[in-house]
Amino acid sequence: MAGGSAGALRRMRSVSNRRPDLRNSSLLRLLTGFGLTNVSEWGFIAALSVHAFRAGGALYVGLLGIRFLAGSVSSALLAPLAASRRGVLSQIALLRALLLGAAAVMAIGGLNFLLVLLFVVLDAVVAAVYRPAQSRLMPSLAHSPQELTTAVAGTSMAKTVGQAAGALLGGGAVGLVTPGAAMAGEASVMLLAMLCTAGLGGAPATEVAAMPRRLRQGLAAFPGVLSDVHAWPLVLASVLRTLVRGLWGALLVVVALHLLHAGSSSVGLLQAATGLGVLIALPVTVAQIGRARLALPCLISFVAAGIAVGLVSAATAISAVAVLVFLWGGAMALADATSVSLLHRVLPTQAFSRTIAVMESLKLLTEGAGALLAPALVALFGLRAALILAGLPLPVLMLGTWARLRRSDQFAAGRGAVVSRLHRVGLFRGMDMASLEQLAAVAEPIMVAAGDEPIVQGEGGDRFYVIASGEADVLINGFPVRHLTAEDDFGERALLRNTPRTATVRASTEMELLAIERDAFLQALTGEAGVHFQPPELVNLPLADVLTALPIFGSLDRDDIRKLERAAVREDVGAGEVLFDVGDESTCAYVILRGRVELERDGAVSSVLLPGDIFGELSVMHGTTRLGRAVVKEPLSAAVLPAAALLAIRREPTPQA
C-alpha cells in the first residue's frame, strides 16, 4: 500500500515552481479596480491639462504640479491612519469620483481655474491613501503566497496599462467634446472602480504609526546615507529623475499644443506613448535581473532619457515627438529599476529601508517641484531652450559620477548571483527587479549539516527557505512525501501564516540555504511595513478552484479535479467538535473553507489549519488509521473528500517517452 501511495503523492506533489493563474475573484476585482482608477486619473489629467493650457498657458499647466506636493504630505501622514479601515478602497474611489466630478462641473461652467485646481488637489490628498491601503489589504485576500506574488505583478501591469489607456481615452475625448465634458466622463470611470472593490472582505492589519516613524528615522539617517561614497550618486540620481519627470510632464503639454499645434487629442497621445514605452521596457528590465554588473545599463538609461527630452526641442512633427516620448518612457523605467537595484546592493538593509521611506515621500515632492519649475524655464529661456535644460541634468550627473558608480557596481557584484537564484524560484518569478533585490538583501545564508532539520512539524516558524546546494526529505507524520534538491524551496506557508509547521524537512546531505523572513517577504511585495495575513473565507468560491490551488492537487488534470468536486460533500461543524481521534478509520479528507482546526499528537498541538488547508489525506493515501486528533476551534465549513475519491486518482502517471 505504501508504494502506491508514494506514487500518488509524487504525482500530486507541490507545484511551487509553477507560475499559478490568478483565479481569486477578490484579487481580480482588486486589480480591476486599481486599473480603472489609473484609467480615470490619467484620462482626467489629460483633459485637465488641455483645459489648464487654454485657461492660462504654461503657467496653469505647471500649477497642476501642486497636486504632487499635496499627495506627498498625504502619503507620509494620512495614509497610515486611513489605510487600516475596512472598505476604504471603495470609500476612496467614491470620494475621488465626487471630487473629480465637481472639478469637471466647474470646468464646464467656466469657473475660475484655481477653484477647479483646488478640487484636483483635494483629490490628490485622497488618492495618496489608495495604494498603501491596497497593499495592506492584498495579503488578506490571497489564498497562498503564489497568489500574492502573482497579484503584485498584476498590480504593476494594471497601473501601466491603465495609465496608457486613460491617457488615450482622455486625450481622444477632448478631440470630440470640451475638456470639461471629457473630465466628467473620466470621473464616472472612478465609480466603476468603486463598484469593483465594493464589499471586498479581509481586514487589513497595519501599524498606524509605522510610516511617520519610518519617515522620522529615515530623515535622521539621510545625512549618513548622503555621505556614503557608494550611495549618494544613486540617491541624487533617483531624486533628480523624479524632478525631471515632473518637469517634462508639464512641458509635454506645451510642446503638443503650442510648439507643434497638434490639437487637443495630441496631449493624450503623447502621454500614452510614455506608458507604452514603460510597458515595452518590461522585458528589458527583466533581462537585467541577476546581472553581476548594473552600472552600464543604469548609465545608458539615464543618458538616453535625457537625450530624448533634449531632442524634442528640434522636432517639428507629432510622430517624431511620439517616438522620442516612447523612448523616454522606456529609458526612465529602466533607469528607475537599475538605480534602485544598485542602491539595494550598496546600502546595508536597515539603512536602505530608512532611505526608501524618505525617497518615496521626496518622489512626489520633487515631481511637483519639477512641474512648477516648467513655466519658469519657459518664461525665462523659451520652450526649446527649456527642453534642452530639462534633458541635461540626468546625463550630466551620470557621466560626472560614472567612475564612482562603476566602483560601487564592482563593490556589490556578488549580490547578482543571489538575485538570480531567487528569480528561479517559481514563487518569486513574477516579482519586479527592485523587489527581488530587496529580498536578496535580507536573504540570510545558512549551513545545515546532514541529518539536521531546519523545520520541524508542529514547531512555529516564520521563514521560507531556498536551497542553494544539497538535498533534503520532507516528512509528514513520519511519512516521506517529497525529496528536495538544489532546484527546490520549502516553508512557503510561513510567509503568510503564523501557524505551526505542517511538515518536517530533514537534510540528507549538507545543505546551504537562503532564509527569508515573513515580514521581509511581505514588505518586499507590498512596500509596506506592518502588513499581516488573515486568511480569507472560501465558501463562496467554486470548489474546483479551491482544490486546484492546493499544492497536493496542483498537477491533477481538469477531469480529476471535477471528479473530486463531484464526490465532495459540504459539511458545517460547530466549535469544540472532534472530527476524528487517534485510531479512527481514515474515511475521508477535509478541505477547510471557513474556520480553524487544530491537529493534536501526543497531547500537543502539531498543526493549526485555516481556510485553504487540507488535512487527513495522508492517512487515507497510506491506508492507516488516524495518527492524531482533529479539533474544531472556530465554526467550520469544509469540503469532505471521501477516501474512495482520493484513492481513485492515485494511479501512477503514464510514462513519457
Q: What is the pLDDT of residue 65?
A: 92
Write the pLDDT tens digit of every residue in 562-612.
Answer: 899 999 999 999 999 999 999 999 999 999 998 989 988 888 887 888 888
Mean pLDDT of 234-244: 86
* Lowest-confidence segment of 98-102, 249-253, 319-323, 413-417 by average pLDDT: 413-417
Residue 413 — pLDDT band, cuts 50, 70, 90?
confident
Write the pLDDT tens digit of every residue in 293-318.
Answer: 899 999 999 999 999 999 999 998 99
Cα(516)–Cα(436) distance, rounded to whole angstroms? 12
| DSSP assignments along 409-461, one per residue | HHHTTTHHHHHHHHHTSGGGTTS-HHHHHHHHHHPEEEEE-TT--SB-TTS--
Residue 354 — pLDDT band, cuts 50, 70, 90?
low
Write the pLDDT tens digit of every residue in 382-400.
Answer: 999 999 999 999 999 899 9
Give the orientation angle of helix 295-312 with respect to helix 232-254, to 10 degrees: 20
Residue 351 — pLDDT band, cuts 50, 70, 90?
low
For residue 581, the one-letter residue type is D
Q: What is the pLDDT of residue 358?
A: 64
pLDDT at 535 over 80: no
Write the pLDDT tens digit of every residue in 425-441.
Answer: 888 888 888 888 888 88
Of residues 35 and 648, the one with the higher pLDDT is 35
Q: What is the pLDDT of residue 20?
A: 43
Percent of the chain with pLDDT over 90: 43
Residue 549 — pLDDT band, cuts 50, 70, 90?
confident
Q: What is the pLDDT of residue 321?
A: 94
Residue 78 — pLDDT band, cuts 50, 70, 90?
low
Residue 16 — pLDDT band, cuts 50, 70, 90?
very low
Confidence (pTM): 0.79
Rg (CA), the chain: 27
- Give the total residue count for the chain: 657
Write the pLDDT tens digit of every residue in 621-642.
Answer: 888 899 889 999 999 999 999 9
Q: What is the pLDDT of residue 429?
A: 83
- Cβ atoms of residues 579 and 597 within 8 Å: yes
**Nearest-5° angle of CA 307, CA 229, CA 432?**
60
pLDDT at 7 over 60: no
Of residues 454 and 460, the one with the higher pLDDT is 454
Cα(43)–Cα(61) distance, rounded to whole angstroms? 15
Under the phi-then-psi rule, with left for phi > 0, alpha for psi from -120 to 50, and beta for the rest, what region is 488?
Answer: beta
Q: What is the pLDDT of residue 653?
A: 35
Closest CA to 210 of 123, 131, 136, 124: 136
**What domains can be seen in the chain, in order of their start residue?**
18-208 (1.20.1250.20), 227-424 (1.20.1250.20), 442-519 (2.60.120.10), 537-648 (2.60.120.10)
Write the pLDDT tens digit of every residue in 57-67.
Answer: 999 999 999 99
